[in-house]
Structure 1
Amino acid sequence: MKLLSSLSFMNPAAIRRNLVMVKRYADQTTDLSNFSALQRLQHFPDSVFKEPDRHQRVKDSEVSALTPLLAGIMGGEFPPSFSTISDADCKAYIGRAVAGERHWNQLFPEDFTCYEELVRYVIYAYRDTYSGGSVSNAIGWIWLSPQADWTIEEYSENIIHEYTHNVLFLEEMVNTLFSVSASVMAEPENRVVSAIRRVPRFFDQTYHAAAVAIVLAEFAISGGRLKDARLLVHGLLPSLDAMKEKRALMTDNGYTLLLEMISRGLALYEEVSKSADSQAWQLEGVPA
Structure 2
Amino acid sequence: MTINCKGNLIDLTSPKVMGILNITPNSFFDGGKYSDENSILQQVEKMLIDGATFIDVGAYSSKPNAEFVSENEEISRLIPVIELILKNFPETLISVDTFRATVAKKAIENGACIINDISAGSLDEDMMQTLAKLQVPYIMMHMKGNPQTMQSLAQYENIVKEMLFYFSEKVVQARSLGINDLIIDPGFGFAKTLEQNFEVMNKLELFQMLELPLLVGVSRKSMIYKTLETSAEFALNGTTVLNTIALQKGAKILRVHDVKEAMECVKLCNSLIG
For the aligned pair, the TM-score class normalised by the smaller chain equals under 0.3
Give the strand-richer structure, 1 or 2. 2
Structure of greater Rg: 1
TM-score (norm 1): 0.23
TM-score (norm 2): 0.24
1 or 2 for the larger relative contact order (CA 8 Å, sep ≥6)? 2
